[in-house]
């Protein structure tokens, strides 16, 4: 499913579609619990990692985005605050080249 979403995102005309596809892929990897999100006793997964990507410059023939980098930084913060990710397990990449993203995703879990 993630491969199909990223395929669609790369054909799209905006970075928003790509970020959406990544968010969907990551959300399918998050652990599910039988408890409600409002329960105070939510326990985090033993190992959770995130690579968040933000890039304001648009691709060829596209206008630059205004808030993609700020949004990526905030998503990284929210994963720690609300998602209970350990800060050392969250990496925010700003204006990376595609190869840098692939390298980060294929590294060992120590990020």
First-residue to last-residue Cα distance in the chain? 24
Model pLDDT, residue 9: 44
Q: Which residues is 111 bridged to in the sheet?
A: none
Tens-place pLDDT, residues 9-67: 444 445 555 555 555 445 545 554 444 555 555 665 578 889 999 999 988 899 999 99
Helices 2-11, 15-29: inter-axial angle, 10-degree rounding: 170
The CB-based long-range contact list for 102-109 (8 Å cut-off, 24+ gap) reads 104/51, 105/51, 109/47, 109/49
Helices and strands of the chain, counted as H and E runs: 4, 2
CA distance 103 to 109: 12
Q: Which residues contact 13 (CB under 8 A, 6 or more apart)?
A: 62
Cβ–Cβ under 8 Å, residues 65 and 83: no
**pTM given for the model:** 0.58
CA separation for the pair 94, 29 (Å, rounded): 23
* pLDDT tier for residue 102 given thresholds of 50, 70 and 90: very high
């Amino acid at each position: 499913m993630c491969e199909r979403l990223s395929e669609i995102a790369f054909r799209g005309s905006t970075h928003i579609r790509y970020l959406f596809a990544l968010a969907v892929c990551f959300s399918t990897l998050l652990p599910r619990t039988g408890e409600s999100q409002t329960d105070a006793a939510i326990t985090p997964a033993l190992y959770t990692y995130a690579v968040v990507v933000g890039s304001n410059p648009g691709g060829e023939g596209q206008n630059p985005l205004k808030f993609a980098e700020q949004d990526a930084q905030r998503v990284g913060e929210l994963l720690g605050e609300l998602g209970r990710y350990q800060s050392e397990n969250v990496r925010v990449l700003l204006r990376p080249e595609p190869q840098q993203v692939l390298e980060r995703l294929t590294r060992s879990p120590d990020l």
